Amino acid sequence: MATSARGTRRREQILTQAVAQFDEYGYHATSLQSIADAVGIRKASLYYYFANKDEILLELHDRLIDEVTAKHAQRLDAGGLTSTQLIGAMMRDVITLMETRPGHLRVFFESYRGLSVDTHDRVSGARSAYRRAIRDVIEAGVASGEFDVDDPHLASLAVLSLMNWTYQWFDTDGDLSATQVADGYLQLLLEGMRPHTAG
């Protein structure tokens, strides 16, 4: 694996071109040759950085899940946030990736099924851990009286569903920013769709 500054830049170029092609054409329809051509290197040179296409996809998945997991861990370590604030921050972490890393979320959510069994299990484990982190925050909110939720597991799936489906329709040129979408989702989750009554 390349460790020099030049090697790091080349690795980033490969990942950038790979995510663009995975996003546009799909994981299976994209070849290592097409990625190498887009980067401007020989296919043989690409193997210096990644052993196969699986390894590229795994790197993309690890980067995203590690990023959102690390942000959540930092907030927990710092303390002082309510469960509502934590859930809102987690939703913004994921949804704003559509602005900061366009194309990555589609690849993250749609292409991981193309991984080999062992690699797929590793990715699934990381995703399950993040899902448990969301459930833990909801359970903490229930324990503190902040939330009134009968089934924290179902609630965590609802949060994930909102987060995970947004990439299908979100438009960076639309009326709402990713942060506004995340905050709107949070308000909907917290307040529901029932009309407010006086008193």
3-state secondary structure 108-136: HHHCHHHCCHHHHHHHHHHHHHHHHHHHH
Contact 20/27 with Cβ under 8 angstroms?
Answer: no
Per-residue pLDDT at 111: 82
Predicted pLDDT at 11: 94
From the list 30, 36, 29, 64, the residue with the least C-alpha distance to 50 is 36
Nearest to 56 by CA among 98, 116, 145, 99: 116
Distance CA 1, CA 172 (A): 35
Q: For residue 42, give both structure tokens.
A: 């020989």
Q: In this predicted structure, what is the pLDDT of residue 1?
A: 45
Q: Which domains are present in the chain? A: 1-51 (1.10.10.60), 52-191 (1.10.357.10)
Report pLDDT for 3: 57
Report pLDDT for 34. Answer: 97
Backbone angles phi, psi at 78, to 5 degrees: -70, -35
Q: Residue written as tokens 């604030």?
A: 85
The pLDDT tens digits along the chain (199 residues) read 445 788 889 999 999 999 999 999 988 899 999 999 999 999 999 999 999 998 999 899 999 999 999 999 999 999 999 999 999 999 999 999 999 988 888 888 888 777 777 777 788 888 899 999 999 999 999 999 999 999 999 999 999 999 989 999 999 899 999 999 999 999 999 988 777 665 5
Rg of the chain taking only CA atoms, in angstroms: 19
Q: Which of 31, 27, 186 is nearest to 109 (CA)?
A: 27
Q: Which residue, 4, 3, 15, is CA-closest to 103?
A: 15
Q: What integer pLDDT is reported at residue 196 of this predicted model? A: 63
Whether the Cβ atoms of residue 10 and residue 51 lie closer than 8 Å to each other: no
Check residue 7 and give its pLDDT.
Answer: 82
